[in-house]
């Protein structure tokens, strides 16, 4: 655990220190987020925060390679090299988009290419845990497309919620912490090696998000841009995929309990809000005869603003949603009453949602 904390601390420190450099570079490079009708910021703001996040993540992985316990992760294969290369590729694509802008189809092709970099170096789903059946082995015919789909959907889910200061970094940071706790607890419970790729990826990712937040929280001095949102989405997806290669599926699926399918469900649970936002956006745009990637101002965070919340309050509400769902999902693996925790989490989230929707209206009525 101490080595993971050291990795997270390095990622946070390097990201924090390099973000001002990325900001200066973005200003000189001309990568500025201009003010558009669908945006909530009122002044042009530098992008390219993804450069600092990538620097923090890479520095953390470099340190991990030289730590005694975590060396085991690198001795088992080239997973971390593949993740770094795919991360660098998606960050470069994001930099191009942040500076010059690229069309949605080209961006999608770049996301598939980054997922392909992972696949070519052996990072792919090996099995699909099915409740009531057990682990179903996936050959190349199914494993490859499902892996690409998982990575691309995660990238776009994170990209879609990057609309308020600090929102994407905070939500993904919370999700990464939840996934780290899950993978570490699973190793402890089943007596497996605690040095694992998914835990390392998520520890470094959480640290990088924490290091970026002081510069990105409202009022933001820099945006992560597509170079950052697509990067952290890819890293979160990679943590999910590496889980099936680092943990014995037979051991974690004995009894066909909740942990049997949680490795794939946890990322969806921890960032359920952006996934729901992504699904609603696709349905909304398809119904209107528009491209699923066509921008609009009807995302969940926009609606929170419309009902009277400030940027900060809207972001904190979505943080709480993410934390509650993530903690409920993780609790189902480390307690004997996991379903109770999950039910309580969803019930609490529903109550919080009602409060979030009605609080501004109640205040306005009180003033009147």
Q: How far is CA 348 from CA 269, 321, 325, 327, in A?
A: 15, 9, 9, 12
On whether the CB atoms of residues 82 and 88 are closer than 8 A, the answer is no
Q: Output b/e per residue, 143-170; b: 16+ Cβ within 10 A.
A: bbebbbebbbbbbbbbbbbbbbbbbbbb
pLDDT average, residue stretch 311-335: 76
Number of Cβ atoms within 10 Å of the Cβ of 101:
9
What is the longest distance spanned by two Cα atoms in the chain?
67
Cis peptide before 219 (omega within 30 of 0): yes
Over the stretch 179-221, which tens digit does the pLDDT of each residue have?
A: 898 888 777 766 667 778 899 999 999 999 999 999 999 888 9
Residue 295 scores a pLDDT above 90: no
Domain ranges (residues) in the chain: 2-262
Q: Measured between alpha carbons, how far is 322 from 271 in angstroms, rounded to an integer?
A: 6
Over the stretch 124-156, which tens digit does the pLDDT of each residue have?
A: 887 776 656 666 777 768 889 989 998 998 998
Instruction: Reduce the DSSP state of residue 32 to 3 states and report it.
Output: strand
Instruction: Report which of 41, 49, 129, 135 is spatially closest to residue 95, judged by C-alpha positions.
Output: 49
Rg, Å, the chain Cα set: 20
């Amino acid at each position: 655990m101490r080595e993971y904390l050291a990795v997270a601390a390095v990622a946070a420190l390097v990201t924090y220190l390099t973000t001002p450099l990325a900001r200066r570079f973005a200003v000189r490079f001309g990568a500025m987020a201009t003010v558009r009708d669908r945006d909530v910021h009122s002044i042009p703001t530098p992008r390219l925060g993804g450069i600092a996040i990538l620097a923090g993540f890479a520095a953390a992985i470099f340190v991990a390679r030289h730590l005694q316990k975590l060396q085991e992760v690198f001795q088992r294969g080239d997973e971390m090299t593949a993740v770094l290369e795919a991360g660098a590729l998606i960050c470069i694509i994001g930099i191009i988009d942040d500076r010059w802008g690229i069309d949605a189809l080209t961006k999608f092709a770049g996301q598939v290419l980054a997922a392909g970099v992972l696949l070519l170096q052996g990072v792919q789903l090996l099995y699909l845990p099915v409740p009531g059946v057990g682990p179903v082995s996936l050959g190349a015919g199914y494993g490859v497309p499902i892996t690409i789909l998982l990575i691309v959907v995660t990238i776009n889910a994170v990209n879609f919620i990057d609309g308020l200061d600090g929102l994407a970094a905070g939500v993904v940071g919370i999700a990464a912490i939840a996934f780290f706790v899950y993978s570490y607890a699973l190793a402890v419970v089943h007596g497996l090696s605690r040095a694992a790729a998914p835990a390392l990826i998520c520890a470094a990712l959480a640290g990088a998000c924490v290091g970026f937040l002081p510069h990105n929280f409202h009022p933001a001095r820099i945006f992560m841009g597509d170079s950052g949102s697509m990067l952290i989405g890819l890293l979160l997806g990679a943590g999910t995929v590496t889980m099936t290669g680092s943990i014995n599926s037979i051991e974690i699926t004995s009894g066909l309990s909740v942990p049997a399918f949680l490795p794939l469900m946890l990322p969806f649970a921890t960032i359920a809000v952006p996934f729901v936002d992504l699904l609603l956006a696709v349905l909304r745009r398809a119904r209107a005869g528009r491209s699923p990637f066509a921008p609009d101002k009807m995302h969940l965070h926009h609606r929170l603003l419309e009902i009277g919340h400030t940027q900060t309050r809207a972001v904190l509400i979505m943080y709480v949603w993410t934390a509650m769902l993530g903690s409920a999902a993780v609790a189902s693996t480390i307690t004997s009453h996991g379903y109770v925790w999950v039910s309580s989490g969803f019930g609490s989230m529903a109550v919080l949602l009602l409060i979030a929707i009605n609080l501004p209206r109640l205040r306005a009525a009180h003033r009147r």
